[in-house]
Structure 1
Amino acid sequence: MTITAVRTRRLAGITALGTVTALALSACGSSVPKLEEVWPEVREGIQNASSVKIVGEMDQDGQNVSLDMAGQTDDSSFGGKVTADGISMELVGNKEFTYIKPDAAFWEQQGAAAMQEMAGDKWIESPADIGMNMSSFYEGFRDESPEADEFADTEYTSEEVEHNGQQVYKYTGTDKDSGDPIVVMINKDNQLVRIESQGDSEDSGIGAIDFSEWNAVEPFEMPADEEIFSIPGM
């Protein structure tokens, strides 16, 4: 049996929302710093983050993917829940193993009702290299984060708004390829807190992703031996 149902292809939304590089955005709001002024520190934070929490949902290429994931970017500890194509699973893991709890739809898709009965409510132990870990969700986004000079000579609107109980800077523009609205929110510590793609283009991805707990995610506890089910042959 292969666990492929929710490898998620890196969470399509995070990679797609790398189109923040394409902000063809008219600067207004004199109290809000220019995006190109704050972005170097934002980008540095993205590049050097030791941990982060990522929550979001995206539709792209006919696939709906939602993610509620937190952990260390080096995969030493992570956990959360992933849903793709109507199949959900909880997961927790480290550099050695990923432990998953799939929903009934996963087992049905695998044609493995007997295995589901054997596993019960236990965590399924899988090799870390199945691609369901923190780095697989984060690396594409980190690698595509733009340099500040990519915002030169662009136009955008800027304002200060409240988001999740905190005051943040909101920058709104359009994707230069699709013409879809793109929103970037940055807090006053120059940390990225949200990216939105608000248009109707499946190519650019439609949805939003929130980022929080930068460098502050607590380690996850791995399941005890008696809570683990090992699939024969894996």
Structure 2
Amino acid sequence: MSQAADILDKAKTNALAATSGAFVGQVEQSGKAIKIDFKGTSDGTTADIAIEMEGDGKARVISVGDGVFIQGDATFWKKQGAPASVQKAGDKFIKAPASASSMTQSLSLKSFLEKAFGAVTPQQLAPTAATENVNGVDCWVLTDKRGKKEGALYVSKDKSEVVRFTGSSDSPGQLDFSKWNEDLGIKAPDASQIMKIG
């Protein structure tokens, strides 16, 4: 096993075993930039996610034990085809119907990580890892055989934790990871911030 494949294996095992984590950055989907700020548990039961989509508005989703709460700007609600009452929610949160709970699984840390690692195979990697300091953390840098511009994974040397993930020229992006296995202190919005719907 090459040095890079070994580091990838440890980082993936660690990340998928993590109970919680956070990441922030930008990715591109179907040619549109999406800014994302994610904090949440591996299974998606608890999450606080802010997303800003080019042309599709901004939204914040808070998922806790007793429900999923969504706050969106006018553009977001319009694109979702939300009822008129919801489109006037302003900065209040809407409690999503119970049927939306399946949405939280797609917003789980684990599903994001599985997608990210699904895009990186040991065969694609340059066999040796470079080293770099990212935000004060000494990291191994795993890059695509074609070089860093085609994607890189930064893994902390001390804990084999994912620190940064950068995309390729086809799907550019950068996500910075932190708070692995920490208590993220996510709570439901205050009752005064929640809009009552009919």
Q: What TM bracket, shorter-length normalisation?
A: 0.7 to 0.9
Cα displacement (A) at 1:53: 0.2
TM score, norm. by length of structure 1: 0.68
Deviations 1:110-137 (A, max 9, x none): 47665443x3432111035435536525
Please give the alpha-carbon distance, in whole angstroms, between the structure 2 residues aligned to 1:141 and 1:107: 24
1:196 aligns with 2:162: no
Go from structure 1 to structure 2 and tell me whether the alpha carbon gap of 1:143 and 1:158 turns closer, same or farther (over 3 Å shift).
closer
Which residue number in structure 1 is paired with residue 35 of structure 2? 66
Aligned residue for 1:140, secondary structure, equals helix
Which residue number in structure 2 is paired with residue 106 of structure 1? 76
Please give the alpha-carbon distance, in whole angstroms, between the structure 1 residues aligned to 2:99 and 2:134: 36
Aligned residue for 1:230, secondary structure, equals coil
Is the 2:43–2:108 contact (alpha carbons within 8 Å) kept by the matching residues of 1? no
Deviations 1:158-208 (A, max 9, x none): 322111122211122247xxx961111000210111111241x2xxx1111
Aligned residue for 1:143, secondary structure, equals helix
How many residues end up aligned between the 2 structures?
Answer: 191
- What are structure 1's unaligned runs of at least 5 residues? 1-32
Alignment counterpart, residue 161 of structure 1, candidates 123, 132, 136: 132
Which residue number in structure 2 is paired with residue 8 of structure 1? none
Cα displacement (A) at 1:216: 0.7
Alignment counterpart, residue 127 of structure 1, candidates 85, 97, 114: 97
Which residue number in structure 2 is paired with residue 50 of structure 1? 19
1:91 aligns with 2:53: no
Aligned residue for 1:220, secondary structure, equals coil
Residue range with higher mean Cα deviation, 223-232 or 50-59 = 223-232
Which residue number in structure 1 is paired with residue 9 of structure 2? 40
Go from structure 1 to structure 2 and tell me whether the alpha carbon gap of 1:107 and 1:219 turns closer, same or farther (over 3 Å shift).
same
Go from structure 1 to structure 2 and tell me whether the alpha carbon gap of 1:127 and 1:95 turns closer, same or farther (over 3 Å shift).
farther
Map of 1:68-83 to 2, 5 A cutoff?
A: 68-83=37-52
Please give the alpha-carbon distance, in whole angstroms, between the structure 1 residues aligned to 2:126 and 2:190: 53
Is the 1:122–1:229 contact (alpha carbons within 8 Å) kept by the matching residues of 2? yes
CA RMSD of aligned residues (A): 3.1
Cα displacement (A) at 1:95: 4.2
Please give the alpha-carbon distance, in whole angstroms, between the structure 2 residues aligned to 1:224 and 1:95: 14
Cα displacement (A) at 1:94: 1.7
Please give the alpha-carbon distance, in whole angstroms, between the structure 2 residues aligned to 1:206 and 1:227: 35
Go from structure 1 to structure 2 and tell me whether the alpha carbon gap of 1:159 and 1:182 turns closer, same or farther (over 3 Å shift).
same
Higher Cα Rg, which structure? 1
TM score, norm. by length of structure 2: 0.79
Aligned residue for 1:222, secondary structure, equals coil
Go from structure 1 to structure 2 and tell me whether the alpha carbon gap of 1:67 and 1:217 turns closer, same or farther (over 3 Å shift).
farther
Bigger RCO (CA 8 Å, 6+ sep): 1
Cα displacement (A) at 1:154: 5.2
Is the 1:96–1:128 contact (alpha carbons within 8 Å) kept by the matching residues of 2? no
Cα displacement (A) at 1:70: 0.2
Cα displacement (A) at 1:102: 0.6
Is the 1:75–1:95 contact (alpha carbons within 8 Å) kept by the matching residues of 2? no
